[in-house]
Amino acid sequence: MSAGGGDAQDRVHVLRLPGTQERLRCSGCGNLTRFDVTRTRRTREFWQVGLGGEPEVGDVTRLNERVEQIACRWCGRSDAIEVVARMDVDPASDPTGTDAP
Protein backbone atom coordinates (compact mmCIF):
# COMPACT_ATOMS: atom_id res chain seq x y z
CA MET A 1 0.00 0.00 0.00
CA SER A 2 1.36 3.34 -0.97
CA ALA A 3 0.63 6.41 1.06
CA GLY A 4 -0.53 9.66 -0.40
CA GLY A 5 -2.34 10.54 -3.56
CA GLY A 6 -5.07 8.74 -5.39
CA ASP A 7 -7.22 7.87 -2.44
CA ALA A 8 -10.73 9.19 -2.40
CA GLN A 9 -10.36 10.52 1.11
CA ASP A 10 -7.32 12.50 1.97
CA ARG A 11 -8.01 13.77 5.44
CA VAL A 12 -4.58 14.95 6.40
CA HIS A 13 -4.37 18.61 7.38
CA VAL A 14 -8.06 18.90 8.07
CA LEU A 15 -8.35 21.84 10.39
CA ARG A 16 -11.78 21.55 11.79
CA LEU A 17 -13.13 20.38 15.06
CA PRO A 18 -15.09 17.16 15.24
CA GLY A 19 -18.87 17.23 15.31
CA THR A 20 -21.04 15.44 17.82
CA GLN A 21 -20.63 12.07 16.13
CA GLU A 22 -16.96 12.54 15.39
CA ARG A 23 -13.67 12.70 17.18
CA LEU A 24 -10.06 13.51 16.55
CA ARG A 25 -7.50 10.87 15.86
CA CYS A 26 -3.79 11.03 15.28
CA SER A 27 -2.98 8.77 12.39
CA GLY A 28 0.67 8.95 13.39
CA CYS A 29 0.40 7.15 16.70
CA GLY A 30 -3.27 6.32 17.17
CA ASN A 31 -3.84 8.86 19.94
CA LEU A 32 -7.52 9.57 20.46
CA THR A 33 -7.61 11.56 23.64
CA ARG A 34 -4.88 14.18 23.93
CA PHE A 35 -4.50 17.12 21.60
CA ASP A 36 -3.30 20.66 21.66
CA VAL A 37 -5.89 22.75 19.89
CA THR A 38 -4.81 26.26 18.99
CA ARG A 39 -7.72 28.43 18.01
CA THR A 40 -8.67 32.03 17.78
CA ARG A 41 -12.09 32.99 19.01
CA ARG A 42 -13.96 36.21 18.74
CA THR A 43 -16.82 36.46 21.17
CA ARG A 44 -19.32 38.88 22.55
CA GLU A 45 -20.06 38.49 26.22
CA PHE A 46 -22.90 39.81 28.26
CA TRP A 47 -21.40 41.22 31.42
CA GLN A 48 -23.53 41.83 34.39
CA VAL A 49 -21.71 43.96 36.90
CA GLY A 50 -22.83 43.87 40.47
CA LEU A 51 -22.99 46.89 42.70
CA GLY A 52 -19.66 45.93 44.15
CA GLY A 53 -18.09 46.13 40.70
CA GLU A 54 -17.60 42.42 40.30
CA PRO A 55 -18.46 41.39 36.73
CA GLU A 56 -20.28 38.20 36.00
CA VAL A 57 -20.15 36.86 32.47
CA GLY A 58 -23.51 35.70 31.22
CA ASP A 59 -24.27 34.80 27.63
CA VAL A 60 -21.29 34.29 25.38
CA THR A 61 -21.97 34.71 21.69
CA ARG A 62 -19.40 33.21 19.41
CA LEU A 63 -18.87 35.54 16.48
CA ASN A 64 -16.00 33.82 14.83
CA GLU A 65 -13.66 30.94 15.40
CA ARG A 66 -10.62 29.80 13.53
CA VAL A 67 -8.71 26.65 14.24
CA GLU A 68 -5.04 27.32 13.66
CA GLN A 69 -3.45 24.08 14.63
CA ILE A 70 -4.27 20.73 16.13
CA ALA A 71 -1.30 18.80 17.40
CA CYS A 72 -1.00 15.41 18.98
CA ARG A 73 0.10 15.55 22.62
CA TRP A 74 1.52 12.10 22.33
CA CYS A 75 3.80 12.23 19.30
CA GLY A 76 3.75 15.96 18.58
CA ARG A 77 2.62 15.75 15.00
CA SER A 78 0.23 18.34 13.66
CA ASP A 79 0.10 17.00 10.13
CA ALA A 80 -1.45 13.66 10.99
CA ILE A 81 -4.60 14.68 12.81
CA GLU A 82 -7.81 13.54 11.26
CA VAL A 83 -11.48 13.71 12.09
CA VAL A 84 -13.12 10.31 12.20
CA ALA A 85 -16.55 8.98 13.08
CA ARG A 86 -16.72 7.95 16.72
CA MET A 87 -18.12 4.55 15.88
CA ASP A 88 -15.17 3.87 13.59
CA VAL A 89 -12.51 3.87 16.26
CA ASP A 90 -11.49 1.34 18.82
CA PRO A 91 -10.69 3.13 22.06
CA ALA A 92 -8.44 0.26 23.03
CA SER A 93 -6.05 1.30 20.28
CA ASP A 94 -5.35 4.56 22.02
CA PRO A 95 -1.75 4.51 23.24
CA THR A 96 -2.36 7.01 26.02
CA GLY A 97 -4.77 4.80 27.92
CA THR A 98 -2.37 1.97 28.63
CA ASP A 99 0.91 3.84 29.01
CA ALA A 100 -0.27 6.79 31.03
CA PRO A 101 0.57 6.69 34.72
- Residue 23: CB partners within 8 Å, gap ≥ 6? 32, 83, 84, 86, 89
Minimal distance, residue 20 CB to Zn ion, in Å:
23
Q: Which of the residues 25 through 44 are near Zn ion (CB under 5 A)?
A: 26, 28-29, 31
Of positions 12, 37, 57, 75, contacts Zn ion by CB under 5 A: 75
Q: Which of the residues 9 through 28 are near Zn ion (CB under 5 A)?
A: 26, 28
Q: Should residue 72 be labelled a site residue for Zn ion when binding is judged by CB under 5 A? A: yes
Q: How many CA atoms lie within 13 A of 34 on its CB side?
A: 13
Q: Which of 1, 2, 23, 11 is nearest to 94 (CA)?
A: 23
Strands (E), the chain: 22-26, 35-49, 55-72, 81-85
Minimal distance, residue 47 CB to Zn ion, in Å:
40
* CB nearer Zn ion, residue 60 or residue 100: 100
Contact positions vs Zn ion (CB under 5 A)? 26, 28-29, 31, 72, 74-75
